[in-house]
Amino acid sequence: MIKDKLERQFEYLRISVTDKCNFRCIYCMPKEIFGSKHQFLKKNELLTYEEIIEVAKTLKPFGLKKIRLTGGEPLLRKNIEYLVEGLKKDALIDEVMITTNGSLLTKEKLISLKKGGLDSVTISLDASSKKVRNIMNPVNSNHVLVSEAIDNVITIFNSVKVNMVVIKGINDKEIMPMLEKFLDKNIELRFIEYMDVGESNNWSLDNVFTSKETKDLIEKYFSLKKIPDLIDSTSEKWAIDNYTLNIAFISSISKPFCSECNRGRLSANGNFYTCLFSEKPYDFSSYFRNKENNLSFNNYFTKVWSNRDDQYSQLRFVSKPGKNKNKKNKVEMSYIGG
Ligand code: SAM
Ligand code: SF4
Ligand code: SF4
């Protein structure tokens, strides 16, 4: 067990297994920027499954309990069920989860992921109407497969989380249709405030549809009952009277949760970040891949985590003296892992 400068324990690792994606969501990988000229990581730069399992094994004694596989689109990596199996059965990680856009999540894939020991699935879907979905993701928007995947996850895993990023004036009118679509299903529909992650999505506070605005809208039609928060939960959950669907709000902009943040992030090429908004990579691959570093990894990681003082979301609107606002160096979500 290890704590950072703000007394936060390390427990959770989000791993981007690839920075590539077959979608181009406007808030994450806008097609104008992530076009044919964009340089993605090369295949030989990606950590292998064996290396990722080794990282997990090494971090377990520090308190690592949960891993989320993400990206980019994690299902673009072949046979990811082998990685899941290694994390569960070899590295003995308590909970292994995946976040995916669902477009490649066939029933067969789900069955092998379940067999490998995967604990739960989160699927991203930002609108019910085809027209708005195509605005949110103008490339490869075969969303019929995504809806099928949501139903298949419920059949195989009993329940599913669905992530919806809400952007003011673009898909906020889809909040009620999305809710109505899923009312009778075993789903947690999570409304995510649009975040200023990376440098390419042209984020502005004016485009944020806050959790309060979403909740006020829903309460015009439905009665909500609070579900008690889990200790390290980053969302507030509510049940809807008389329906199976639960909803959750992830309010990184209006109600940041940095004081509870127990997570680190690992990029597909082995850079560790102590915060989604951190600009400082810690090169794990030199320990796990090149083995060129003589310092012990345990000493190194102890230093990295115990010096951690990130609380970007909490300080987002406090201007930092000496910080050059024109300097663009925030890391993209698809690289660091959403
Ligand atoms: N491709 C997978 C997917 O879309 O589920 C996994 C990676 S994606 C980066 C992980 C999550 O981050 C998705 O639910 C996505 O909606 C969310 N996300 C990406 N950019 C975001 C932003 N700017 N603000 C809020 N959430 C964002
Ligand atoms: Fe791809 Fe997920 Fe980013 Fe959309 S949110 S572009 S699906 S990585
Ligand atoms: Fe954690 Fe950084 Fe997000 Fe705060 S801003 S919750 S420290 S990842």
Q: What is the DSSP letter of 89?
A: I
Which of 160, 52, 28, 172 has the alpha carbon at shortest distance from 97?
Answer: 160
Sheet holding 282-283, edge to edge: 224-227, 236-240, 246-250, 187-193, 160-166, 120-124, 95-100, 66-70, 12-16, 263-266, 271-273, 282-283
Whole-angstrom Cα distance, residue 35 to residue 24? Answer: 9
Exposure of 158 by Cβ count < 10 A (0-12 exposed, 13-18 middle, 19+ buried)? Answer: exposed
Q: Which ligand is nearest to the CA of 24?
A: 2
At 97 the pLDDT is: 98
Set out the domains of the chain in order of their start, with CATH numbers: 12-158+260-336 (3.20.20.70)
Tens-digit pLDDT string for the chain (338 aa): 899 999 999 999 999 999 999 999 999 999 999 998 999 999 999 999 999 999 999 999 999 999 999 999 999 999 999 999 999 999 999 999 999 999 999 999 999 999 999 999 999 999 999 999 999 999 876 778 899 999 999 999 999 999 999 999 999 999 999 999 999 999 999 999 999 988 888 898 999 999 999 999 999 999 999 999 877 778 999 999 999 999 999 999 999 889 999 999 999 999 999 999 998 999 998 888 766 555 688 899 999 999 999 998 888 877 655 555 545 578 888 888 77
Residue type, 30: P
Distance (Å, whole) CA 39 – CA 21: 13
Cα–Cα nearest to 162, from 100, 240, 118:
100
Q: Which of ligand 3's atoms lies nearest the C-alpha of 278?
A: 2
Residue identifier of the C-alpha nearest atom 6 of ligand 3: 258
Ligand nearest to the CA of 5: 3
pLDDT value of position 92 = 98
pLDDT of residue 9: 96
> What residue's CA is closest to ligand 1, atom 5?
100
pLDDT at 142: 72
* Contact present, 87 and 67 (Cβ < 8 Å): yes
Which protein residue has the closest C-alpha to ligand 1 atom 4? 101
For β-strands 187-193 and 160-166, DSSP reports them as: parallel
Query: In sequence order, what are the beta bridge partners of 123?
Result: 100, 162
196 CA closest ligand 1 atom index: 23
Q: What is the DSSP code (8-state) at residue 200?
A: S
Helix, strand, coil abundance in the chain, percent, nearest 5: 35, 20, 50
Helix, strand or coil for residue 297?
helix
Contact 27 CB / ligand 1 (< 6 Å)? yes
Token pair for residue 322?
């000496």
CA of 223 to the centre of ligand 2 (A): 32
Whole-number Å distance between alpha carbons of 295 and 199: 34
pTM of this prediction? 0.95
The Cα 321–Cα 146 span in angstroms is 45
Q: How many Å apart are CA 29 and CA 140, to the nearest integer?
A: 13
Ligand nearest to the CA of 68: 1
